[in-house]
Structures are given as structure tokens and as C-alpha cells.
A and B are shown apart, each in its own frame.
Chain A
Amino acid sequence: MIRRIRRLVLGLLLLGLPGGVSAADRHITLASTTSTEQSGLFAHIIPVFRNSTGIDVRVVAVGTGQAFAIARRGDADALLVHDRDGEDEFVARGYGQERQDVMYNDFILIGPSQDPAAVAGADNIVDALQRIAGARVPFVSRGDDSGTYRAERRIWELAGISPSGSWYRALGSGMGPTLNTAAGMDAYVLADRGTWLSFGNRQNLTVLFEGDETLFNPYGSVLINPERHPHLKHDLAEIWHRWLISDEGQAAIASFTLRGEPVFFPSGR
């Protein structure tokens, strides 16, 4: 009996606890958004970065609000998100050292192809959302603290509407689950183009309105303030931060396509 236990303990030691991080490898942890990760952008550009610098980038893809929270607590070395106001505030409050434009794409209004609220003929995105509210047709919202949700709230504000009622459904989910729900209930939804292009379960959904400059969706890289979190790999993070706007980084972003379409447009200087 005792021998059995001893053997079990020995076996456990041999199996070994899954190790944390070996000291030799050079990597940073990047807090970013689901839209960039799920579109496949990182799988496209990180190998290029790794080849040229020997640094690996581990992406934790969450909503923009959660990405800010992770970075504020010192759990990520770098930050790449899409909420201009939030990024500026992050820097202003001393969490970030500097923010720079990296790339952009746009938000699009998705809905059932029959388009019951006739948003396809709208003058602009504000008019389109007013038509949806007027027709009281189902609209699903992220309802989380994501960059896309923050953009959606800004447009509702411009439209002078505070959406409520049974037609407006705030889910509290990521972009993908929200699109799955919209597909299931034939609802309208504001989405980022990256997630939409990589989304496989479209059913009856289609792009109904796009191209308004209010729908501009800029992504920024934020360098985290080393004074607040001295343990972070600030030097490696800065190499990544600079690489994103280098010629090589910008070219890598531009060469990423889905279904033959570019997904992100470089905007670094």
C-alpha cells in the first residue's frame, strides 16, 4: 500500500507540472482585441516579426475594455486595440507612455438580406440606425465594453436615440457570438469588417450599409509606461511597437487578405 503511494508520487513527479515559461525564450504578451486575432491577422504578421527580430508575440485576445484592464494591472507587455478615446485616456492617466496609429478598417452594418428597415437606402449611418429604431426591428448589440460597442454607442448618441425595448438586445458577448445570435434571429448588428470577413456562419446575413466616415475604425498600439510596471519586457515591447509602423510591419499588415479582400489598411507614419 505504502509502496503504491510512493510509486504514485514518483509518477506524478516524473509527469511533471506543466512548466511556466522557460527562461531562454524571448517573447512578449500582447493584449489585443478579438477582431484582430480571429480574423487571422496575427497568424499572418507575427511570423514575419519573429523572423526579423527573434521575438515571439503571445496574443491574449479579449474585448477592448478587458484588454485595457489587463494592461492596467501589468499583465501584458503590449497593447493593440481600437478605441481612440480609451487609448488617449490610458496614456493621459499615465498607464501608457505613447500611442500610435497602426492601421484602420471600418465598421459595417449587417442585417437580414430582406432588409425590413430599408437601411440599404439610408443617407448615412445615423439615418440607418434611426430607420432601425423607427421600424423597431431586432438589433443585437455587443453590450460589452468592446471597441465596437463603444463605437455603436457613439453612433446612437449622434442619432439622438437611447435604444431600449424588446427590439434592442444587448448580449454582453464577443463579436463572433453576437454575429451567431444575429444570424439566428435575423437581426441587424454593427460589426467590424475583420471579424465579418472571417465569419463562417452568415446564414441570411449580409452587409447592408458601409462607407460612412463615422464608421472609421482605427487601431492603435500603446507603449506601456515602464515606471508603473517595471517588471514588463519593455524593451521587447518597444521593438514590437516600432516594428508595427516600420515599412516591413506596414507591408505585412497590408498583405493580409481574406476572401481576396484586404482586411486592415496600414496607417502608421
Chain B
Amino acid sequence: MESGENAFLTAFQLIVGMDPVLTGIVLLSLQVSLSAVLIAALIGLPLGAAIALWRFPGRGLLITLLNAFMGLPPVVAGLLVYLLLSRAGPLGQFGLLFTPTAMVIAQCLLVLPIVAALTRQVVEDLWNEYAEQLQSLGASRLRSIPTLLWDGRISLVTAVLAGFGRASAEVGAVLIVGGNIDGVTRVMTTAIALETSRGDLPLALGLGLVLMLLVALVNGAAFLMGEAARRRAG
């Protein structure tokens, strides 16, 4: 990648030129962050709904912890996953450190609390509203989960997008567990950090603009899907 005189021009040249190095970095960024968000959603949506519907001892503490973990510093998440995946750590024999898989795990750890905590809130509100109705139809709590998740889908898409925002923006975790290896684990944010430390500020900011564009495109796609779903629902 070459830098130009100013960031906007550099961003424009990077996009128009379809720089192969940049294309690889962009694809890996999307692959890592989208995988992390999908896994976090598959776990976090049912988990959040379950916490919303059942009453059990320690529930308040669990909700508080879940909310607190929305603020987990990426660097701490990275360090935890590093120690876990390191050869000297408990999962060391799988050799996952410094691979994209390690980056997915670290980002999943960051996204899961956001998806689960926001889902808990959305589903709990819906439950308060529809509990009697659902119970009169004979639906158990377990059977109510899919219905409630489907009912709250518009809000839940926003929760998942918030998770995607966190995954695509963070640099601390992927830097530690991925190692920013050229062509293997270098993603947009670690590339931006690298170019900043090399003092190539126009290229760093140019890459930042490309990343923002990418995140905007993903959010735009989610918005259009939401609109389409709303129209189909009438």
C-alpha cells in the first residue's frame, strides 16, 4: 500500500485501485468480525432470553455482571484469550494462537455480553407485556423464547449491530492474539495502528476511512433487510 498526500485522496485511491493487500485485509476483517458476531448472536440471543424469562438465585448478580462485561477492555479480553491459547496455557495443544480463529474467539468474548445483555432487556420488556397472553395459549417459557425473539427482532438487530460495531472497531484484543502477522492475521484496525506507529498518518487515516465505509455498508445492509422484513409483515 502506498500513501498519498492526504487521507481522503489516499482512501479514494485505495478503494478505486483495489489494492490486493488491502482487499485481503478487508476480507479478513469482515470474516473475523462477522464470524465472531454470528457465534455471539447464536449464544447470546437464547442466553439473554433465558435470563429474562426465568427467576433463579443470583439472577441479579448475573445481570449486573453481564452489563459490566459490556465494558470489558479489549486488551484484557485479548490477554485472557492469549493466556488460554498460549502453548503454556490450558488450550495450548491446539496451536490456535496467532491465527484468525484466535481473533474470532477474542472478539466473541467482547460481543457476547453486549448481545446477551441487550437481548435480556428487550425480551424482559416483551415478556412483561405478553406473559399472560402467551401463558393462556398454553406456551411454556421455553416455547415462548422463539416467539419473543421473533417479536423483538427489530430491536435485536440493533443489539447485534452494536456487537458488530464493537468487534470491527477494537484493536487491543486482535493485536495480542493475532500478532498482526502480514498476510495472515493483519486486519483493518491493526493495520491502522501499524501505519500510525510508522508515522504514515495519511495512509493510517485513509485506512480508517475505508473501515468506516465498510461498517457503514454492513449497517446499511442490516437496515435494508429490516425495512424489507417490516414491509413483508405489512
Contacts and interface: CB of A to CB of B under 8 A. Distances in A.
Contacts of B196: 176-177, 180
Contact of A74 (B87, B100, B103): B87
Nearest to B89: A73
A231 interface: yes
A179 to B, nearest CB: 6
B26 to A, nearest CB: 14
Given A175-B197, A180-B196, A231-B87, 12 more contacts: A18-B35, A18-B99, A18-B103, A20-B94, A29-B181, A42-B182, A61-B180, A73-B89, A174-B197, A177-B196, A180-B199, A183-B199
B22 interface: no
A75 B34 contact: no
A interface bracket (residues with beta carbon within 8 Å of B): 35 or more
21 contacts: A1-B146, A1-B150, A18-B32, A18-B35, A20-B94, A20-B96, A20-B100, A20-B101, A58-B98, A58-B179, A73-B86, A74-B87, A74-B88, A75-B87, A175-B197, A177-B196, A198-B198, A199-B198, A201-B199, A202-B199, A229-B87
Contacts of B96: 20
Nearest to A30: B181
A185 interface: no
A97 interface: no
Interface string A17-34: 111110000000100001
Contact of B199 (A19, A200, A231): A200
Contacts of B42: 9, 12
A75 B86 contact: yes
Nearest to B202: A200
Given A12-B42, A198-B198, A199-B199, A21 B146 contact: no
B97 to A, nearest CB: 5
Nearest to A29: B98
Interface residues of B, number: 38
A38 interface: yes
Nearest to A180: B199
Interface string B13-43: 0000000000000001001101100100010
A108 to B, nearest CB: 15
Interface in A55-85: 58-62, 73-75
Interface string A226-242: 00010100000000000
Interface string A68-110: 0000011100000000000000000000000000000000000
B177 to A, nearest CB: 10
Interface of B: 3, 28, 31-32, 34-35, 38, 42, 86-89, 92-101, 103-104, 146, 150, 179-182, 184, 194, 196-201
B76 to A, nearest CB: 16
A58 B38 CA distance: 28
A43 interface: yes
Nearest to B82: A75
Given A74-B92, A75-B87, A60 B198 contact: no
A19 to B, nearest CB: 7
